[in-house]
C-alpha cells in the first residue's frame, strides 16, 4: 500500500481516526504522530486516539495540535498502526467496530489481518513501513522525521536488534538529513530516566531470579511495588530490555501487575527461543525476539505458566 491509496480511502470521510496498541511504545507513538502529520499535509484531517503515553515521548507530544482525542465521538475510517490484533486496541475497539473502512498497517509476524485493508510487512518497525509508503520524501519535515526516527530507533533497540537491515540504516540516514537530533532521541529512549523510574528499575533488578539452569531471567513488580515509588506500568518501560542484556540467560521475562489478578508479561529472547510462540499461548503476540501477553491469576501462577511455555520449546 502506498500513501496515495490510503489517502484515497480517507477522502470524503468526515471522521478519520488513527490509533495503536494499548500501552503504546516508541514505534506505536511515532507511527501515529508521523502518519497523522503526513495525512494533514494531504488534506486529510485525521485525529489520534491514544492513552497512557509515557513521559519519555513528551518531545513528540508537545505542539501536536492534530491530537484531539477529547473530541473523538465516532469514526468513519479507522487506521490501526503497530497493532497485531483488534483486541490490542483496548478502549478504542468500539471506534474500530463502528468504522465503515478499517485499515491495518503493521510489522508484527503475529498480525491476524483483522481490518478491511491490511498492509502487514516484514520490517524493523511500523515507522519504517510508513516511510516506505511515501512515493517521495517531499512531505517530510523535521517533526515527522523525529517521530519516524523514534519508532525505528525504539523497535531496533538503537539499531542493535536482528530486525535492523541495511535499508533501516538508509532510512535513518535520510531522517537525520532533516535535522533530527538522533543522539538526544536515543538518550531519551534508552538512557534518560525519571527518578521514580530509576528507583523501580532497581527494585526489578533486585527481584530478578534465574530459572531452568540460567535459561530464563525473570523478574516481577507488584501493585505494591509500583505504589511504593508512585509509579505506573508506563514507568517500567525498559526493564525487560535491561534483563535481556544479561549474558548468562537466553530469555528475559518481566511480569508487572496491573490489577488485582491481571499481569502484563514482556518477553525478550537472545537465543533460539521464539517468544512470539510463547506469547501466543496466552493470546498475545509480537516478534520472534520480542513479544508480550496478558495473563490472569496470581503472580506465582503466572510465573509457572510462562516458565512451562518456555520449557516446551527447549
Q: How far apart are CA 122 and CA 126, in angstroms?
A: 9
**Which pLDDT value is given to residue 62?**
62
Q: How many residues does the chain have?
A: 314
CA-based nearest residue to 47, from 15, 5, 10: 15
Query: How far is CA 129 from each of CA 189, 279, 308, rounded to the nearest angstrom?
Result: 20, 24, 35
Q: Which residues contact 82 (CB under 8 A, 6 or more apart)?
A: 20, 21, 24, 25, 27, 28, 31, 32, 105, 106, 107, 108, 125, 126, 151
Q: Comparing 45-59, 110-124, 133-147, 257-271, which segment has the lowest mean pLDDT?
A: 45-59
121-164 residue pLDDT tens: 999 999 999 999 999 899 999 999 999 999 999 999 999 888 99
Give the pTM.
0.88
Task: Name the β-bridge partners of 257.
Answer: 263
- Dihedral sign for Cα atoms in the order 141, 144, 150, 152: negative
| Average pLDDT, rounded, for the chain | 93
**Which pLDDT value is given to residue 210?**
97
DSSP string, 38-78: HHHHTT---EEE-----GGGHHHHTT-TT--GGG----SEE
C-alpha cell at 174: 535520510
Residue ranges of domains in the chain, CATH in brackets? 3-190 (3.90.1640.10), 195-311 (3.10.310.30)
Amino acid at each position: 500500500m502506498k500513501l496515495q491509496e490510503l489517502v484515497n480511502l480517507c477522502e470524503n470521510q468526515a471522521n478519520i481516526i488513527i490509533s495503536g496498541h494499548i500501552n503504546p511504545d516508541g514505534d506505536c507513538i511515532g507511527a501515529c504522530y508521523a502518519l497523522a502529520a503526513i495525512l494533514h499535509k494531504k488534506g486529510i484531517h485525521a485525529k489520534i486516539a491514544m492513552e497512557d503515553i509515557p513521559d519519555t515521548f513528551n518531545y513528540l507530544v508537545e505542539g501536536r495540535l492534530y491530537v484531539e482525542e477529547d473530541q473523538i465521538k465516532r469514526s468513519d475510517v479507522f487506521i490501526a498502526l503497530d497493532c497485531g490484533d483488534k483486541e490490542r486496541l483496548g478502549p478504542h475497539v468500539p471506534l474500530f467496530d463502528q468504522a465503515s473502512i478499517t485499515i491495518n498497517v503493521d510489522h508484527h509476524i503475529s498480525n491476524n489481518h483483522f481490518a478491511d485493508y491490511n498492509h502487514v510487512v516484514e520490517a524493523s518497525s511500523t515507522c519504517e513501513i510508513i516511510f516506505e509508503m511515501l512515493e517521495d520524501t517531499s512531505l517530510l519535515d523535521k517533526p515527522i522525521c523525529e517521530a519516524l526516527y523514534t519508532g525505528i530507533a525504539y523497535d531496533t533497540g538503537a539499531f542493535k536488534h536482528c530486525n535492523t537491515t541495511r535499508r533501516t540504516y538508509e532510512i535513518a540516514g535520510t531522517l537525520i538529513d532533516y535535522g533530527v537530533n538522533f543522539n538526544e532521541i536515543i538518550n531519551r529512549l534508552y538512557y534518560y530516566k525519571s527518578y521514580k523510574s530509576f528507583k523501580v528499575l532497581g527494585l526489578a533488578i533486585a527481584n530478578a531470579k534465574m530459572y531452568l539452569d540460567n535459561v530464563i531471567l525473570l523478574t516481577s513488580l507488584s501493585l505494591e511495588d509500583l505504589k511504593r515509588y508512585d509509579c505506573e506500568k508506563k514507568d517500567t518501560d525498559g526493564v525487560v530490555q535491561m534483563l535481556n542484556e544479561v549474558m548468562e540467560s537466553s530469555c528475559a521475562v518481566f511480569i508487572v501487575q496491573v490489577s488485582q489478578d491481571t499481569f502484563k508479561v514482556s518477553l525478550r529472547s537472545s537465543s533460539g527461543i521464539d517468544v512470539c510462540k510463547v506469547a501466543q499461548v496466552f493470546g498475545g503476540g509480537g516478534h520472534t525476539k520480542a513479544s508480550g501477553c496478558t495473563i490472569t491469576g496470581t503472580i506465582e501462577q503466572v510465573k509457572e505458566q510462562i516458565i512451562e511455555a518456555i520449557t516446551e520449546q527447549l
